[in-house]
């Protein structure tokens, strides 16, 4: 059994299938989407395979499929895992769009050899769309992104937990600063039509407004937020709870992308008063 989770920070498609950017949609504009990461962002990937004899490689290529660097997945129990930052690779990927391919390793490869993409062509099983690694991601009135860290304490969405107790990280274009209080109240009815408050609690919520992304990215982000139920979701050094629904905008019929919004609760902010 082989599993490549949709909750990973990078989306992969079977090699024989079309990626999001390769597809066309009837009566809709073609708008490509390029996932963006900083060159210091940790990229962590995991592939589950119960066949202990199988090994896998991540191939990073330019957009012309020239091989930049192959990386070996480490064999851990029934899954394979690797982590890297693009700026720290032997051949750094900086201010460049690249593609990821996952190849099933046949035989033994010495990764110091000078391979080409074609050397692995018959063993490639998954591919990604173009990923943009930037040394300077704008953060201003016109654009901004946030890095979301997430991990679980049990297996979820095809990812094996616990593994090495480090986070997966996803960067998404969004606005994340508007706040609102969340009041919780318990009351006790008394005689004479009187009511007394026995508990009043105050929390703090913050609105994440996700800028235009395709459906597969919204699905990925919802899986990330679901980690709050049996794990941790981390943004700006704070732990956040997922207490409300993920609300997609009304779609533009000509656009394959949508916006979304979600109110997240600050898990460390709670003021309580009770009898």
According to CATH, the topology of domain 2-137 is Immunoglobulin-like (2.60.40)
Whole-angstrom distance, CA of residue 242 vs CA of residue 260: 14
The SS3 of residue 245 is: coil
Whole-angstrom distance, CA of residue 170 vs CA of residue 210: 13
According to the model, what pLDDT value does residue 166 have? 85
C-beta of residue 239 within 8 angstroms of C-beta of residue 268: yes
Q: For the chain, which ranges sit under pLDDT 70?
A: 107-109, 163, 185-187, 191-192, 196-200, 272-275
Give the β-pairing of 131-134 and 124-127: unpaired
How confident is the model over 86-99, as pLDDT tens digits?
Answer: 999 999 999 999 99
How confident is the model over 120-142, as pLDDT tens digits?
Answer: 888 999 999 999 999 999 999 99
Q: What is the DSSP string of 176-224?
A: EEEEEEEEEEEEEEETTTEEEEEEEEEEEEEEEEEEEEEHHHHHHHHHH
According to the model, what pLDDT value does residue 90 have? 93
According to the model, what pLDDT value does residue 36 have? 97
Q: What is the DSSP string of 250-272?
A: PPPTT-SEEEEEEEEEEEEEEEE
The SS3 of residue 146 is: strand
Phi, psi of 224 (to 5 degrees): -60, -50
According to the model, what pLDDT value does residue 14 have? 97
According to the model, what pLDDT value does residue 107 have? 66
Q: What is the 3-state secondary structure (H, E, C) of 72-99?
A: ECEEECCEEEEEECHHHCCCCCCCEEEE
Domain ranges of the chain: 2-137, 168-274
Q: pTM above the 0.85 mark?
A: yes
């Amino acid at each position: 059994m082989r599993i490549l989770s949709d909750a990973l920070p990078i989306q992969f498609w079977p090699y024989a299938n079309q990626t999001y950017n390769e597809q066309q949609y009837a009566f809709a504009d073609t708008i490509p989407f390029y996932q963006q990461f900083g060159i210091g962002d940790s990229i962590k990937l995991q592939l589950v395979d119960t066949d202990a004899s199988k090994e896998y490689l991540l191939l990073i290529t330019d957009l012309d499929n020239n091989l930049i660097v192959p990386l070996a997945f480490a064999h851990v129990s029934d899954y394979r895992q690797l982590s890297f930052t693009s700026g720290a690779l032997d051949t750094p990927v900086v201010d460049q769009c690249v593609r990821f391919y996952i190849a099933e390793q046949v035989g033994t490869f010495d990764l110091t050899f000078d391979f080409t993409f074609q050397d692995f062509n018959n063993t490639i099983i998954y591919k990604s769309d173009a990923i943009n690694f930037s040394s300077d991601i704008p953060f201003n009135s016109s654009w901004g992104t946030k890095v979301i860290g997430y991990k679980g304490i049990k297996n979820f969405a095809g990812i094996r937990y616990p593994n090495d107790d480090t986070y997966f990280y996803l960067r998404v274009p969004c606005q994340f600063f508007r706040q609102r209080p969340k009041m919780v109240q318990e009351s006790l009815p008394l005689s004479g039509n009187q009511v007394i408050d026995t508990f009043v609690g105050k929390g703090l919520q913050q609105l994440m407004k996700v800028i235009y992304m395709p459906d597969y990215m919204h699905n990925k982000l919802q899986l990330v937020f679901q980690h709050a139920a049996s794990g941790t979701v981390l943004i700006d050094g704070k732990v956040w709870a997922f207490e409300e629904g993920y609300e997609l905008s009304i779609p533009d019929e000509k656009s394959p992308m949508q916006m979304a919004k979600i109110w997240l609760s600050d898990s460390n902010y709670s003021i309580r008063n009770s009898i």
